[in-house]
Amino acid sequence: MRIEKSGRIIIVAVVVAVILVGAFSALFFLTGERWHVPRNKIAIIVVEGVITEAHEGGANPETIRKLLSRAEEEEGIKAVVLRINSGGGDAGASWDMYRAVKRVNKPVVASIGNIGASGAYLVAVAADEIVATPMSVVGGIGASVEFPFDVPINASEEAEKISSLPSGELKDMFADYRLNESERGYLKERLENVLEVFLNCVTEKRNISDENRAIIAKGGWFTGEEGLRMGLVDKIGNLDDAIEEAAKLANISVEDTRVVTLRIEDSKVIES
């Protein structure tokens, strides 16, 4: 009797196990999407605030280089979306970030939120595509000098203060409170050289007419809609649209892709 009872218990246990396996299998097939783990990833890297070497954060060249390196090294990451909200910053730091983006061997899409202008637009130009909203601010192509003192409108006005003895006439232009015609001409020449480099970066990858080149060379800002017509932007859309474009460039399905954000935390690259 004990043996028969034990046998019945074993049989019942087996039947219950079979039922449970069948139920879980049915649940898996009915809700397969909930159980499915995407094989591919698209990494979002945020470029926000003033672009400068002076502080850490989303607009610091060293930070962006680290994040881009992680995106390249991780096999599962198939494309990168740069989420840009910046009005630019230091010329050297902007150029550094531009070069870092250009070196990436995976598809990169720039998604401009509220603003992607001046040095931030230079960074966007390095991407394979630029997506902006109709109301995004883009452009601001060029450079400017911020003076450490109030510059007299009249170039011939004498300096209010003299604080140095220079070896050459241009060496002390920021050491006293005046800018004469020669100094103003020199600064203008320097800025035009920076502008030419900027314009060459823009026109290297973008189909911009000579007429529009002359317009953007004035340094003005444009809406995303205007930028699309002028060749500064590839598509109008939001962040989701940029992610879809990145998936297309990487030849992967959005449905089989997980979107992650890369950031620096305690000097380490964190994925969330």
Domain chopping of the chain, boundaries: 2-34, 38-271
| Residue 133: both structure tokens together | 């909203």
Are 96 and 61 within 8 A, CB to CB? Answer: yes
Q: How high is the pLDDT of residue 5?
A: 53
| Residue 195: both structure tokens together | 């502008």
Q: How high is the pLDDT of residue 85?
A: 97
Give how far Cα 74 sits from Cα of 77, 216, 253, 255, Å.
Answer: 6, 38, 18, 20
| Residue 182: both structure tokens together | 């020669």
| Residue 139: both structure tokens together | 């452009």
User: What CATH number does domain 38-271 carry, 1.20.120.450, 3.90.226.10, 3.30.390.50, 3.20.20.450?
Assistant: 3.90.226.10
Per-residue pLDDT of the chain (272 residues; tens, 9 = 90+): 454 555 555 554 544 444 554 555 544 444 444 555 678 999 999 999 999 998 777 789 999 999 999 999 999 999 999 999 999 999 999 999 999 999 999 999 999 999 999 999 999 999 999 999 999 999 999 888 777 667 666 656 665 655 555 667 666 666 666 677 887 888 888 889 988 999 999 988 888 999 999 999 999 999 999 999 999 999 999 999 999 999 999 999 988 899 999 988 877 888 88
Place of tokens 């945020």: 46
Q: How high is the pLDDT of residue 33?
A: 47
Place of tokens 């009915």: 30
pTM of the model: 0.80
